[in-house]
Amino acid sequence: MAAAALDGGPIALLGLASSLLAAVDPRSDDPPDPDATRAQLVEALSADPLEEATALLAAVAALSGDDVLGRRVARLAVDHGHALPAWLDGIAATVPSAHAVELVDPFGDMSEFVVGATLPDGQPLSAVVSVDHNAGSVAVDGFLVPESVDVVVDAGLGSADEGDLLARPLAPADARARISEAISHGLLVVPAPETESWPSARPSVEWLVGLLPGGGRGA
C-alpha cells in the first residue's frame, strides 16, 4: 500500500499518511484506543527498512507538524540510503495560495471552502471542505485535490446548474478561521460526520489550512 502511494505522488502519499493519522487521532474516539497511538504508528514505520515506509513517515511528520520527527526521518533516510521525492523532502517550503474561495448555495445552507498551496516542486494542491450551516456550521466532508484553487472553483461552478452555486472570494486568513471552526464544531457532533473521504482526510486538510495566515475572522 505504501509503495503504491509513493508511486502515486503527493495526493496518494499524503492521503495514506492522513488516514493513518486519523485512525490514531484521540479526538476520533471516546475514550481513545490505548492500542492505537501516534507514537506506536511512528515506531512501526521507523522499524520498517523499506524506502516507502521512510517516505510515509516523512509525510506523517509533515502533516502532524512534528519537526523533531522530521529530523529523525531525515537521519533514517540517510542511514538507509533512501532518496525522498523532491516535493516531500522540501515539503516545509510549501507556499499557501494568496486567495481562497467560498462556494455557497443561494440559500446559504451549505458552503464549500477551497484553499490551496504550491509544493516546492511547483505542484498545486487544494483542500475542499464542505460545511453544513443548518447543522451548526459543521465540516461534513473534505479532501485534497492536485489542482489550483481556480481550477477547482471552475470545475465546481461548471458541474452545477446555473445559479446553484455562488463563488465568493475570501481572505485566506478568514478561510482558515472558518474552516478551523467548522472542523472543531464537527468534533462535537454525535455521531460524527463520516463520508468516504472524511474524517480520514482531516489531518491532511488541517495541515494545508494551517499553512494559511492566522488572525482571520470566523463565521
pLDDT, tens digit, 9 for 90 and up, residues 139-188: 999 999 999 999 999 999 888 766 688 999 999 999 999 999 999 999 99
148: containing domain: 95-210
In the chain, % of residues over pLDDT 90: 72
Q: Could you give the C-alpha distances from 40 to 27, 35, 37, 73, 209, in angstroms and in order?
A: 17, 8, 5, 15, 26
Mean pLDDT value across the chain: 91
Residue 79 included in any domain = yes
The pLDDT of residue 37: 86
What values do phi and psi take at 193, rounded to 5?
-60, 135
Strand ranges in 98-184 using DSSP code E only, listed in sequence order: 100-104, 110-118, 124-132, 138-145, 166-170
Q: What nine digits make up the cell of 75?
A: 537521519
Looking at the fold, whether 114 and 200 belong to one and the same domain comes out as yes
Count how many domains the chain has: 2
The pLDDT of residue 26: 84
**Is the pLDDT reported for residue 2 higher than 90?**
no
Q: What nine digits make up the cell of 208?
A: 494545508
Looking at the fold, whether 108 and 188 belong to one and the same domain comes out as yes
The pLDDT of residue 162: 64
The pLDDT of residue 132: 95
Looking at the fold, whether 101 and 202 belong to one and the same domain comes out as yes
Cα atoms found within 13 Å of the Cα of residue 209, Cβ hemisphere only: 27
The pLDDT of residue 5: 61
**Is the pLDDT reported for residue 33 higher than 90?**
no
Domain boundary pick from 75, 92, 109 = 92
Most confident of 18-32, 97-111, 154-168: 97-111
- Residue 112: name the closest of 136, 126, 132, 96 by CA: 132
The DSSP output letter for 146 is S
**Is the pLDDT reported for residue 98 higher than 90?**
yes
Under a CB-based contact definition with an 8 Å cutoff, are residues 215 and 178 in contact? no
Looking at the fold, whether 113 and 145 belong to one and the same domain comes out as yes
**Is the pLDDT reported for residue 189 higher than 70?**
yes
Mean pLDDT of 200-219: 94
Q: Could you give the C-alpha distances from 159 to 105, 116, 138, 154, in angstroms and in order?
A: 13, 20, 23, 9
Could you give the CA distance from residue 50 to residue 95 in angstroms, rounded to a whole number? 29
What values do phi and psi take at 149, rounded to 5?
-55, -45
Bridge partner list, 144: 127
- Residue 153: name the closest of 165, 144, 137 by CA: 165
The pLDDT of residue 209: 98
Mean pLDDT of 113-142: 96
